[in-house]
Amino acid sequence: MRAIIGLGNPGKKYEFTRHNVGFLLLDYIAAQNKLTFKSENDYLIAKGELDNSPFLFIKPTTYMNLSGEAVVYVKEKFNIDLDNLLIVHDDLDLSLGKIKIKLSGSDGGHNGIASIIYHLYSNKFPRLRIGIGRDFSDKNIIDYVLGEFSSNEDEVILPVFAFCRELVYKFLEGGTKRMLDFYSSQYNKE
């Protein structure tokens, strides 16, 4: 079984913020596949199946800096190997709409990833990083990441979600290798 874990903050106040891009991507894919999230423990879960293979979409209901608690619980409850967990999160260091896949490494200053590394005792898990840019010269970083996407930014991010959906499907079909093969053959060729 594979699981896609989108990072974000719970509650209406944060629903459409840049920091919630992981939640937003899972909502986007779930809606297209008629999947419904249900509350369990410290996360929302949607269960699905692709080519007879079951999968999970997970949105932790803890705040971002405690995301690792839900990730560890899901990993242990469903007996999922680290390489079968894909974490989707925002990234300030990537321009708006750019994406990058990372298979391991540091938290890069992201509190949600830091929490996951801490709770898993490992930094060896795949991540799909979605760029939100650093356009916050007139405000501080917290106001920026917790701010909502503008209509201009929405026009950039929606096509990115369509491509990320395909990456998620490839991951669910064949793991990181299939996802990386698709990424390297298609990204920046649009």
Known active-site residue 19: yes
Catalytic residue among 19, 89, 110, 119: 19
For residues 9 and 64, the answer to whether their CB atoms sit within 8 Å is yes
**What residues does 49 pair with on adjacent strands?**
54
Query: Which amino acid is present at 174?
Result: G
d(CA 187, CA 190): 7
B/e letters for 101-123, b = 16+ CB within 10 Å, e = fewer, are: bbeeeeeeebbbbbbbbbbbeeb
Distance CA 103, CA 163 (A): 19
Active site residues: 19
